[in-house]
């Protein structure tokens, strides 16, 4: 069950090939995931995190086959979210007095979820450490809002392993565990998706925390996150990517997003896409219908884009609910330094573009003046408006 990470450090988590969604249904899982827990066996035996509650029985049974559970000297809870702590209550029933090292907010999270204030909590903050024997220590680094207030990372001296919690992870199942054994295309696809959909709202904090960690000048041989691959080959490559992604990231890409009722707004979307490509052949153009494409995959493309065009017909003096819900999520992700244009068809009142413009502005986009507001089905003169939109988005 255990898999060797390095020396006396083993992975004891769960690879979940069947997982299809996360955070309720708010995050899509395309290639499985993992909940990574780690066992350190020096003079002291330490368990770092557990796994999600549905896998509790397997987790504890498998762990008990590897060690006497009573030999665990303490548990490190890097983060209280249920995918990390779900098996903790059942484990604590078997070893009730075992100390749990976590942040002050970690105590609030774990007590709030599981209602066990009597657990033996040991509160730590950045710079605190604990000796585990054989000349090695665990050093704690608070990672507030990456992505919960209780989050922290744990660094193992001697072996130079950073247990990074939710930072530097992906929802990606890799049986072989390590980044050099993973499908590289899928690895980076899932890494950027994870950042765009979960961590981007906290990008200023990511930048600051990366700078803080680098300033410590800790040797890092392995980065062991809570989900996805363990980075052992050039581990700081993912740190460098996070630093790049945290600074209003964009590529030479424009993404067109829409929904449609009777294909009129769809025709406008395709016309804008063609015009963008004609005006800037080197720019990558993406086109998505929000009702037919996973929202997290679209958001990943928005993250990579320098501009978007968003369309909806007017419905009930507003916009389609599919586009409205998508815009709620867009605002939550707090993208910066990106342009946007609006377009849409209407039959009678025509408020759709105004609503799109307002909500994109609230989401932090610089909305250009050009738009297409088409009464009924598009005519050639309506489609010609794509030239102005493309020119402003590309300028």
* Residues assigned a catalytic role: 23, 79, 81, 83, 147, 166, 194, 227
Beta-strand runs (E) in 226-300: 253-258, 284-289
User: What count of other Cβ atoms lies within 10 Å of the Cβ of residue 235?
Assistant: 20
Distance (Å, whole) CA 272 – CA 285: 10
Q: Give the torsion through C-alpha atoms of 163, 166, 171, 173, to 10 deg.
A: 10
The answer to whether the peptide bond before residue 8 is cis (omega within 30 degrees of 0) is no
Alpha-carbon distances of 191 from 25, 37, 104, 238, 241, rounded to whole Å: 19, 19, 29, 9, 9
Show the tokens assigned to 86: 């779900």
Q: How far apart are CA 78 and CA 147, in angstroms?
A: 12
Q: Which of 268, 269, 267, 265 is nearest to 256 (CA)?
A: 269
| Spatial separation of the C-alpha atoms in residues 390 and 268, rounded to whole Å | 12
């Amino acid at each position: 069950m255990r898999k060797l990470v390095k020396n006396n450090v083993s992975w004891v988590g769960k690879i979940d090939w069947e997982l299809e969604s996360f955070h309720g249904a708010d995050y899509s899982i395309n290639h499985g995931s993992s909940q990574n827990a780690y066992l350190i066996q020096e003079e002291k035996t330490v368990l770092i995190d557990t796994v999600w509650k549905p896998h509790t029985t397997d987790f504890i049974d498998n762990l008990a086959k590897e060690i006497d559970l009573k030999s665990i000297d303490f548990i490190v809870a890097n983060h209280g979210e249920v995918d990390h702590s779900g098996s903790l209550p059942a484990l604590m029933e078997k070893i009730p007095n075992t100390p749990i090292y976590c942040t002050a907010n970690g105590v609030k999270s774990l007590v709030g979820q599981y209602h066990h204030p009597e657990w033996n909590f040991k509160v730590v903050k950045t710079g605190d450490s604990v000796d585990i024997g054989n000349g090695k220590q665990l050093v704690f680094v608070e990672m507030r809002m990456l992505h919960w207030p209780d989050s922290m990372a744990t660094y193992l001296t001697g072996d130079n392993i950073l247990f990074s919690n939710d930072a530097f992870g992906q929802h990606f199942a890799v049986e072989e565990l390590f980044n050099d054994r993973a499908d590289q295309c899928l690895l980076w696809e899932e890494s950027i998706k994870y950042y765009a959909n979960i961590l981007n709202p906290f990008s200023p904090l990511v930048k600051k925390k990366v700078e803080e960690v680098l300033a410590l000048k800790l040797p890092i041989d392995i980065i062991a996150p809570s989900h996805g691959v363990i980075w052992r080959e050039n581990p700081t490559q993912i740190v460098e990517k996070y630093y790049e992604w945290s600074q209003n990231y964009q590529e030479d890409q424009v993404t067109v997003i829409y929904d449609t009722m009777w294909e009129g707004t769809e025709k406008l979307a395709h016309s804008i896409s063609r015009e963008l490509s004609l005006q800037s052949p080197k720019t990558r153009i993406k086109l998505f219908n929000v009702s037919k494409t996973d929202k997290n995959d679209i958001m990943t493309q928005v993250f990579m884009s320098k501009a978007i065009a968003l369309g909806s017909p007017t419905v009930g003096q507003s916009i389609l609910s599919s586009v409205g819900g998508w815009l709620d999520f867009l605002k939550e992700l707090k993208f910066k330094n990106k342009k946007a244009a609006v377009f849409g068809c209407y039959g009678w009142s025509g408020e759709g573009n105004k609503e799109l413009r307002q909500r994109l502005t609230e989401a932090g986009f610089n909305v250009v003046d050009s738009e297409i507001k088409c009464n009924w089905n598009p005519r050639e003169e309506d489609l010609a408006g794509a030239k102005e939109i493309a020119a402003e988005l590309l300028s």
